[in-house]
């Protein structure tokens, strides 16, 4: 396939009528899978390419609430989501002597925002979304080497010698996105890249995380409770905080976060490019194995006990970078999720924002005319970024605040003292800024939002597929003709 950006093609839509753009998605994470699920429902051709040879069930717990409930309901998977999730009414902030210092309550969220919040193990949610996509659309062991794009399409070359051609390329391949790197290299040569986008990803924390095998309430007493229990211990004299979450599968998801200073940042820099990798996890496990865990009973458990109950090859060490990039698209290429905005997991908003990206982008792609030009594609990419960037920046700032709250600096201690004493109405006002964004898919039947606090604006909800637009234009034309004749 010859890609020549200098060549201008005259599109004859009568010859290539009803041709929807073919979408190449690089990255089979939650963002890429969600986009694939939505494109499949819109009957838009797509393929997903994942660099890993196999996808391991890695990760810890994730929190989903009213901001993703409409998506799950529209896609017909909400009931199954509820079956694998466990209701969470609040999060406990604890001290090293296993006492609750204060609690962040989520009570009343269903009435105000339309849905409760649930803890779900990442592997369980991943499997649920993966099953919504035809297996033949997902291609494993596809590491991107180069990409080209221009007036007549996009071409991706992989390390195994194969190529893929399409009309749109979506980089959903994480914080160290190969698609973003290729795109930025070309933009930099053309002097079109923001100076801040050219800088390396900053990171201030490192994390190990995993999930135990199914346990009994005798082993971990909080598993006997009907609700999920979230406990975050904040180190008293160490640069760590650590979390436990009980799940519907009677497992305990856990993590331990190291807050880096200048010296420890250098020590961990060699690990920068290894996302979700087990290589250095065991060394960090040894450092934190004696940290006390809140289990809900009299047993004095530690993180070391959770490590013993976890499969070692499913324990991961990951970098927790934080950055919102300025450049999300160019020509036929666009970025979603961690590829364009990487947030601290302290705010619990990374995965949900990747899904929100997928909703907005799917709405815009579905609204493209048949056989779209490169300019038309780039225009909807601009609309997609304009719709999402405000919400992303707000979530990014909230995640930074939550990360600071559990840190060890004087600012962190002040933040904890303030939040501990905030009146309920102030907390609710802060929550509305996050939970009012409850986007829906424009081309699926809308679901009723029963929250008393109404959802925020969603411009892409007005996007219509070419057939729908033609029908609407035809009806409008007939109406005008009838009115004129009368």
What is the 3-state secondary structure of 41-64?
Answer: HCCCCEEEECCCCCCCCCCCEEEE
CA distance 395 to 374: 31
Task: Tell me the average pLDDT across 306-332.
Answer: 93
Q: What angle do CA 437, 366, 138 make, to 5 degrees?
A: 90
Mean of all residue pLDDT scores within the chain: 87
Give the tens place of pLDDT for each residue, 45-90: 999 999 999 888 888 999 999 999 999 999 999 999 999 999 999 9
Tell me the pTM: 0.89
Domain range list for the chain = 23-58+119-200+324-462
What is the bridge-based pairing of β-strands 329-330 and 333-335?
antiparallel
Give the per-residue pLDDT at 151: 87
CA distance 66 to 113: 6
Q: Identify the H or E element spanning 363.
A: helix 350-366
Give the per-residue pLDDT at 486: 41
Report H helices in 438-465: none
**Window from 10-19, 308-317, 340-349, 372-381 with minimum mean pLDDT:** 10-19
Task: Tell me the average pLDDT across 147-169.
Answer: 96
- Band (pLDDT 50/70/90 cuts) for residue 144 is very high
107 touches 100 (CB < 8 A) = no
Strands of 339-447, DSSP E: 341-342
133 touches 37 (CB < 8 A) = yes
195 touches 325 (CB < 8 A) = no
Task: Give the closest residue to 339 by CA, choosing from 278, 268, 266, 392.
Answer: 392
Give the per-residue pLDDT at 319: 82
Q: HSE (CB half, 13 Å, CA atoms) of 455? A: 19
Q: Which residues of 367-399 are buried (b: 16+ CB within 10 A; e: fewer)?
A: bbbbbbbbeebbebbebbbebbbebbeebbebb
236 touches 401 (CB < 8 A) = no
**69, 474, 480, 481 from 484: Cα distances, Å:** 46, 15, 6, 5
CA torsion 329-330-332-336 (nearest 10°) is -10
CA distance 361 to 355: 10
pLDDT higher than 60, residue 473: no
Classify domain 23-58+119-200+324-462 by CATH number. 3.50.50.60
Task: Tell me the average pLDDT across 443-447.
Answer: 97
The dihedral of CA 351, 352, 353, 356: what is its sign?
positive
First to last CA, the chain: 55
**Backbone torsions φ then ψ of 189, nearest 5 degrees:** -65, -30
- Band (pLDDT 50/70/90 cuts) for residue 15 is low
How many Cβ atoms are within 10 Å of 27's Cβ, its own excluded?
30
CB-based contacts of 39, cutoff 8 Å, min separation 6: 23, 45, 46, 362, 365
74 touches 80 (CB < 8 A) = no
Task: Tell me the average pLDDT across 158-167.
Answer: 98
pLDDT higher than 50, residue 219: yes
CA distance 168 to 334: 8
How many Cβ atoms are within 10 Å of 417's Cβ, its own excluded?
10
Task: Give the closest residue to 130 by CA, choosing from 198, 35, 215.
Answer: 35
């Amino acid at each position: 396939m010859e890609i020549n950006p200098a060549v201008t093609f005259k599109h004859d839509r009568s010859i290539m009528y009803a041709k929807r753009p073919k979408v190449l998605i690089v990255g089979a994470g939650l963002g890429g899978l969600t986009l694939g699920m939505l494109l499949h429902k819109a009957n838009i051709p797509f393929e997903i390419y994942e660099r890993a040879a196999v996808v391991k069930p890695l990760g810890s717990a994730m929190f989903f609430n009213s901001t993703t409930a409409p998506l799950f309901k529209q896609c017909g998977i909400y009931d199954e989501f509820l079956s694998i999730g466990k209701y969470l009414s609040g999060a406990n902030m604890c001290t090293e002597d296993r006492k609750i210092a204060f609690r962040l309550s989520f009570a009343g969220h269903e009435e105000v925002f339309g849905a409760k919040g649930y803890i779900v193990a990442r592997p369980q949610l991943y499997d649920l979304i993966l099953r919504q996509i035809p297996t033949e659309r997902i291609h494993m062991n596809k590491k991107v080497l180069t990409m080209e794009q221009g007036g007549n399409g996009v071409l991706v070359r992989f390390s195994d010698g194969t190529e893929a051609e399409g009309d749109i390329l979506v980089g959903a391949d994480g914080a160290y996105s190969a698609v973003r790197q290729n795109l930025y290299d070309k933009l930099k040569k053309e002097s079109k890249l923001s100076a801040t986008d050219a800088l390396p990803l900053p990171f201030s924390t490192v994390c190990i995380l995993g999930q135990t095998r199914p346990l009994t309430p005798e082993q971990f007493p909080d598993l006997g409770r009907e609700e999920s229990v979230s406990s975050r211990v904040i180190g008293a004299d160490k640069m760590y905080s650590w979390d436990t979450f009980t799940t519907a599968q009677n497992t305990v998801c856990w993590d331990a976060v190291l807050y880096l200073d200048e010296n420890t940042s250098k020590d961990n820099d060699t690990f920068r490019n290894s996302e979700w990798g087990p290589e250095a996890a065991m060394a960090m496990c040894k450092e934190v194995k004696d940290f006390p865990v809140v289990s809900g009973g009299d047993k004095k458990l530690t993180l070391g006990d959770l490590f013993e109950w976890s499969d070692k090859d499913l324990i991961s060490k990951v970098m927790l970078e934080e950055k919102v990039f300025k450049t999300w698209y160019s020509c036929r290429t666009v970025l979603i999720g961690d590829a364009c905005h990487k947030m601290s997991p302290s705010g619990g908003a990374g995965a949900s924002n990747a899904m929100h990206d997928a909703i907005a982008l799917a709405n815009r792609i579905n609204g493209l005319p048949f056989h779209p030009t490169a300019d038309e594609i780039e225009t909807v990419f601009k609309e997609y970024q304009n719709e999402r960037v405000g919400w992303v920046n707000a979530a990014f700032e909230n995640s930074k605040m939550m990360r600071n709250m559990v840190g060890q600096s004087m600012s962190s201690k002040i933040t904890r003292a303030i939040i501990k004493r905030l009146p309920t109405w102030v907390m609710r006002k802060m929550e509305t800024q996050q939970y009012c964004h409850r986007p829906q898919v424009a081309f699926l039947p809308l679901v009723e939002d029963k929250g008393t606090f109404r959802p925020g604006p969603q411009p892409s909800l007005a996007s219509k597929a070419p057939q729908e637009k033609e029908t609407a234009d035809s009806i409008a034309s007939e109406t005008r003709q009838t009115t004129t004749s009368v």
